[in-house]
Amino acid sequence: MNNILKKLTSTLLLGTMLVYTTSPVFAFTKDETVYSKLDVNGKNYNTIVNNHIINSNHAEFINDLSDLLNIINTNGDETFTQNGNNLIWSANGNDIYYQGETQKELPVECKIKYELDGKEISANEIVGKAGTVKIILEYVNKDAHTVIINGKSETLYTPFVVLCGTIINNENNKNITISSGKLIDDGTKTIALGIATPGLQESLNLAKSTIDIPSSIEITMDAKDFELGTMITYITPKIINDEDLNIFDKVDDIFTQVDTLQSSSHQLVEGANTLKEGTQTYSEKFSEFNGAVKQISDGIIYANSNYSKIDDGIATLNQKAPTLVYSVQNLSDGIGKVSGALNTINSSLSAVPDTQVVDSINQIVDGINPIISGLNSVSSTDNSSKIATLEGLIQLNTNEIKKLTTLNTSLETQKNLLTSSATIDQTEIASVITTLDSQIAENTVLIGKLTANNQAHQTTITTLQATDGTQMTALVNGLNTIQSGLSKLLPGIKGIYSLKPAINQLADSSTLLADGANKLTEGTEQLTDGINSLADGSAQMKSGLTTLSSGAKQLSNASNQLTDGANTISTGATTLSEGMTKFNDEGINKICNYINGNLRDIKVRVEKLQDLSNEYNTFSMLNENDKGIVKFILITDSLSKNSITKENDDKKDDE
């Protein structure tokens, strides 16, 4: 009978397996919850696994893998057959709920320590104590893997997230705190929730000085009569979802932008150095320009102060001009009378008796005296000092024209240097360019005025040279000679007729002299007009020099301010260059090196961690085609006076 039952059972089992293998193969999802009991020190002493096979296709049979012991159906009457680790569930289209026991090591180990007032103490000893209590839950990731990262073998841990919670009575415990977590206080009790990610610090290869990723949870409190309820720890390998990795698509863009940032930062450093060198050259050249402006300003002020003497001389000359015209007119009239008298003598000499000749000679001698006086009055006017003064002024104006021309050339150079520089913001120097253009224009106008003034001075010099009294000396000497000769003629009437040839020549010369005197009169009138124009021009020149002197002072002050500004710009450019170099070396380069080095490494490590997370989908076993979800719930024994008493009693019983 037993043999028949054995054969029948074998036949049914074989038929069932054949039916199952010929049925469509479905993929199932196994949702696995691992419950583990821990003592007050964190040691695991009992682990039960609950599995829920989700039969979304309503299959009749489910092929499962499991290494659990003492498997039982916890929600239904579905049966299974087992061959080693292979299970075949007669699901009849239903989901399967079952549990089993296991002795396997958990992937995350928990160690619990206690401190009282800063000193470590055992769990048994701390119960009922008063003081500052610290509970330290240290989690150790045991699920290590060797992976290849950037060509190197590295140790990474499956990224488990640990959540731990417990309820603390507020009556006996105050000032409760928790590290890396949150407290919820309703007045009578406090819910403490902490989080840790053991192994993540090592997996990401990050120093704690960079970021401290917690692998432990600490709960502190001021206790009067310490007891601790059950602590529940929830562990899952799903630290991030696959869609969260999309952030690294943006990180790839950041890598490209970081390269651009680093290149641009280097260009900024080079530009700052170029600006530094350019502003130093600009400052040096502007200092030279400022020195030239000061020399010009001093020269203009000196010219303005000394031109007053020239202007006074021209004013005096202008006042004396009418007297000169009057004297020359008298001279012309006197010469005309002498010429007429000589002609009369010449025509009537042969017919005039001796007495009449003597009378005529006396008349001539008497007529010569006023002529000599007039000539002497003219000859007493010495124009040499005025000519020298005007020539000195011409030379001074010529020097100023050269300086202003040189200044304009320098200003044009500075303007071109500023406007052509690619390192200087043109909007910031617009006012400086306007000032330079204005000064160049004013200098050009002044050059024109000085040139015109020189031409006027030269005309005046020519006129003064033509009317210089020294040219009348020969005429005066001649008249004196005539007068002396005539006086000598008086003793001897007989010799009078021998003078006729000389008188004839003298008469001709006097005619020429009269013509010259008339021209001299016209020249003095022109000279008077020229002197009037010179006086007007001199007044304008004096006013212009006064304005130029005031402008020179303003230009000098502005040049000093520009020099100070150029020095400030140079100092600022130097500071900018040094700052940009420091910013690039200590800031940008470090950031870029971190992103290109650490962040790239972190990106690869996170991607590998996500692979490990996806691969960890079961604690017991799972078919290749099935999907798995696994989580761990660790339940720590409560710590109370009753539990300690019971534990001691159990130990005595064991003994």
| pLDDT-derived band at 479, boundaries 50, 70, 90 | low
Q: What is the mean pLDDT of residues 236-240?
A: 80
Do residues 177 and 203 both lie within one domain? yes
Whole-number pLDDT of residue 574: 83
Write down the residue that tokens 């990723």 correspond to: 213
Q: Please tell me the distance from the alpha carbon of residue 41 to that of residue 110, in angstroms, as a whole number.
A: 8
The answer as to whether 589 is a domain residue is: no
More confident residue, 241 or 147: 147
Which of 536, 568, 588 delimits the end of a domain?
Answer: 536
Q: Please tell me the distance from the alpha carbon of residue 486 to that of residue 503, in angstroms, as a whole number.
A: 10
The pTM of the full predicted model, rounded to 2 decimals, is 0.48
The answer as to whether 509 is a domain residue is: yes
Do residues 299 and 214 both lie within one domain? no
| pLDDT-derived band at 493, boundaries 50, 70, 90 | low
The answer as to whether 1 is a domain residue is: no
The answer as to whether 18 is a domain residue is: no
Write down the residue that tokens 């059950």 correspond to: 230
Q: Quick check: 246 pLDDT over 60?
A: no
Which residue in 296, 291, 307 sits closest to 552, CA to CA? 296
Whole-number pLDDT of residue 367: 65
Q: What is the mean pLDDT of residues 323-350?
A: 65
Q: What are phi and psi of 192, to 5 degrees?
A: -105, 125
- Amino acid letter at 38? L
CA angle at 15 for the pair 11 and 17, rounded to the nearest 5°: 120
For 48, other C-beta atoms within 10 Å of its C-beta total 15
pLDDT tens digit string along 373-398? 765 655 556 777 888 888 888 998 89
* Helix, strand, coil % over all residues of the chain, rounded to 5: 60, 20, 20
Whole-number pLDDT of residue 579: 73
DSSP letter for each residue of 197-209: -TTHHHHHT--TT
Neighbouring-strand partners of residue 195 = 163
Q: Could you list the residue range(s) of the whole structural domain that residue 437 is in?
A: 290-536
Neighbouring-strand partners of residue 136 = 113, 218
Do residues 79 and 156 both lie within one domain? no
User: In angstroms, what CA-CA distances link 48 with 35, 65, 158, 352?
Assistant: 5, 16, 22, 178
Which of 504, 536, 568 delimits the end of a domain?
Answer: 536
Q: Quick check: 531 pLDDT over 80?
A: no
Q: Quick check: 520 pLDDT over 60?
A: yes
| pLDDT-derived band at 222, boundaries 50, 70, 90 | very high
Cβ–Cβ < 8 Å for 90, 78: yes
Do residues 81 and 131 both lie within one domain? no
| Element housing 514 (H / E) | helix 500-582
User: In angstroms, what CA-CA distances link 509 with 92, 246, 376, 483, 527?
Assistant: 164, 124, 20, 15, 26
Do residues 520 and 507 both lie within one domain? yes
The percentage of residues in the chain with a pLDDT greater than 90, rounded to a whole number, is: 37
| β strands within 303-388, DSSP E | none
The answer as to whether 256 is a domain residue is: no
Maximal CA-CA distance, the chain:
214
pLDDT tens digit string along 39-85? 999 999 999 999 999 999 999 999 999 999 999 999 999 999 999 99
Measured on CA atoms in the order 575, 579, 580, 582, is the torsion positive or negative? positive
Q: Quick check: 12 pLDDT over 50?
A: no
Whole-number pLDDT of residue 7: 36
The answer as to whether 582 is a domain residue is: no
Q: Quick check: 245 pLDDT over 50?
A: no
Q: What are phi and psi of 149, to 5 degrees?
A: -130, 120
Whole-number pLDDT of residue 22: 39
Which residue in 461, 477, 475 sits closest to 383, CA to CA? 461
The percentage of residues in the chain with a pLDDT greater than 70, rounded to a whole number, is: 66
Number of domains forming the structure of the chain: 3
Q: Please tell me the distance from the alpha carbon of residue 404 to that of residue 333, in angstroms, as a whole number.
A: 51
The answer as to whether 271 is a domain residue is: no
Cα first-last separation, the chain: 50
Which residue in 553, 62, 583 sits closest to 302, CA to CA? 553
Whole-number pLDDT of residue 274: 82
| pLDDT-derived band at 349, boundaries 50, 70, 90 | low
Do residues 125 and 220 both lie within one domain? yes
Which of 12-21, 194-203, 346-355, 542-551 shows the lowest mean pLDDT across its residues? 12-21
Cβ–Cβ < 8 Å for 619, 143: no
Do residues 359 and 381 both lie within one domain? yes
Do residues 52 and 126 both lie within one domain? no
Taking all residues of the chain, what is their mean pLDDT, rounded to a whole number?
78
More confident residue, 475 or 606: 606
Do residues 124 and 48 both lie within one domain? no
| pLDDT-derived band at 215, boundaries 50, 70, 90 | very high
Cβ–Cβ < 8 Å for 456, 533: yes
Do residues 511 and 620 both lie within one domain? no
Q: What is the mean pLDDT of residues 261-281?
A: 73
Whole-number pLDDT of residue 3: 42
Do residues 71 and 181 both lie within one domain? no
Do residues 447 and 423 both lie within one domain? yes
Which of 479, 502, 536 delimits the end of a domain?
Answer: 536
Q: Quick check: 208 pLDDT over 60?
A: yes
Cβ–Cβ < 8 Å for 162, 108: yes
CATH number at 226 reads 2.60.40
Q: Quick check: 10 pLDDT over 60?
A: no
pLDDT tens digit string along 575-624? 877 776 876 776 666 555 555 556 678 888 988 999 999 999 999 999 98
Q: Quick check: 637 pLDDT over 60?
A: yes
Whole-number pLDDT of residue 279: 77
pLDDT tens digit string along 151-193? 899 999 999 999 999 999 999 999 999 999 999 999 999 999 9
Which residue in 63, 55, 59, 105 sits closest to 85, CA to CA? 63
| pLDDT-derived band at 108, boundaries 50, 70, 90 | very high
Whole-number pLDDT of residue 648: 60
Which of 64-73, 391-400, 436-445, 467-476 shows the lowest mean pLDDT across its residues? 467-476
Q: Which tokens hold the place of 379?
A: 């000859």
Neighbouring-strand partners of residue 82 = 87
The answer as to whether 21 is a domain residue is: no
CA 521 to chain centre: 78
Q: What is the mean pLDDT of residues 474-503?
A: 60
Which of 2-6, 33-37, 101-105 shows the lowest mean pLDDT across its residues? 2-6
